Structure 1
């Protein structure tokens, strides 16, 4: 019911709402069944085409809609090398969003040493509605939190974790985070170096 209410806010036209629901169902099915990237990206494109989000993205609405705990389900681009993959394994990426701040946590392990922990990226953020609804983030810091005393060099851990996740998660202050779609259980972000630059990554997050 809440999903239908939010979708109704984005458009008074029933056909548009129907197209959005159909595209969303297509995306969730593709994610749940580990489909190929092209199918997931096509579903994201269909959601964007069906959902005229721009005119309804007030700061209060966006703050309410994106607040809470999220888990990264999919990202269209990760540039980790084979060396990085052999050094560190990323188990999970989660995020907590408040009105003007976000905390992204990357859970990692080192297969060769048994070290494990999280790398937390803290940011202050502000919302801008133009030219497209997006967040501008200011990096507050990176915080390495091992579960036990590290046997590895902390700088090496941070560098390899950074190379294993989408660029904008580690460098939020260098990217523009565009809000493409949001409902009570799902949000889609498009991340670029600027509002007119080519897309770096599309991310799909599910609420925890």
Structure 2
């Protein structure tokens, strides 16, 4: 698979998305999305996610773009190509599952899904980078929290996931919190639940290119939840000025 260059998203590109987020234009929006190429729809989706304020119209627009990309996607045909395409670090951009409850003592800097394939099996690790203010006054420790999973592939490209362990690693030079269970509890409440513990679930890749990966969960607790990832470092998101 060819290496992708960085995609820069500007405020100008976002203006086209904002104009769609009104109920009066809902019919026109559906038509306009259908007129886009997959690459244009992907850019609009990432642009909207990077500036979301939490309105129902924004969530509806995100879902419309996800549906469009999934409908346009042609699934990978061989295991070798699938493994090559999904391997690496993917940064979480968005989950259709509502994110957990934020806490004043905890700051999540980013969440990464690391995929390490090995033919029909592999390792999938969800990594949350955190800062923690144990006294509640300033962030005095930091590190990574990992949900380490194994997976096996069946039914084409479906990844059946099994949680193996949770790991908490303070950063080099960081102090170790005295209340580790309390920190883990805050992480559990703050992270999307399907990333903290994806046990008994399977992941279907519903869209995949060099930059973006969309995954649909199948399982007892998170059925239909979609995670949108970007390959780490492949997309430069510019703030709206």
TM-score by length of 2: 0.68
- Asked if the contact 1:3/1:183 (under 8 Å) is kept, the reply is no
Aligned residues: 188
Select between 27-36 and 88-97 the one with higher mean Cα deviation: 27-36
Matched with 1:27 is 45
**Mapping 1:81-92, distance limit 5 Å:** 81=101, 84-92=102-110
Question: What does residue 11 of structure 1 align with?
Answer: none
Report the CA distance shift for 1:76/1:103 in structure 2 as closer, same or farther (over 3 A): same
Residues 23, 47 of structure 1: 8 Å contact kept:
yes
Aligned in 2, Cα 1:151/1:101: closer, same or farther, shift over 3 Å? Answer: closer
Aligned to 1:207: 231
User: Gaps (5+ residues) in structure 1?
Assistant: 5-15
Q: Distance between the aligned counterparts of 2:149 and 2:77, measured in 1?
A: 21
- Write the distance in 1 (CA, Å) between the matches of 2:51 and 2:175: 38
Aligned equivalents of 2:38, 2:153: Cα separation in 1: 24
After superposition, give the CA deviation of every residue in 1:36-67 in whole Å (9 maximum; x if it has no partner).
Answer: 222111100111122242xx443222211100
List alignment gaps of at least 5 residues for structure 2. Answer: 5-33, 233-241
Partner of 1:163: 189
Task: Give 1:104's match in structure 2, choosing from 120, 126, 133.
Answer: 126
Matches of 1:86 and 1:23, distance apart in 2? 36
| 1:177 equivalent in structure 2 | 203
Q: Which has the larger radius of gyration?
A: 2
Point out which structure has higher relative CO (alpha carbons under 8 A, 6+ apart): 2
CA deviation profile, 1:102-160 (whole Å, cap 9, x unmatched): 22210111232622211011111111235xx3211122211001233323411111121
C-alpha spacing 1:57/1:167, structure 2 compared with 1 (3 Å): farther
The normalised TM-score by structure 1 is: 0.78
Choose from 124, 136, 142 the match for 2:150: 124
After TM superposition, give the deviation of residue 19 of structure 1 in Å: 4.3
The equivalent of 1:13 in structure 2 is: none
Pairwise CA RMSD: 2.7
From the two aligned structures, give the one with the greater helix fraction. Answer: 1
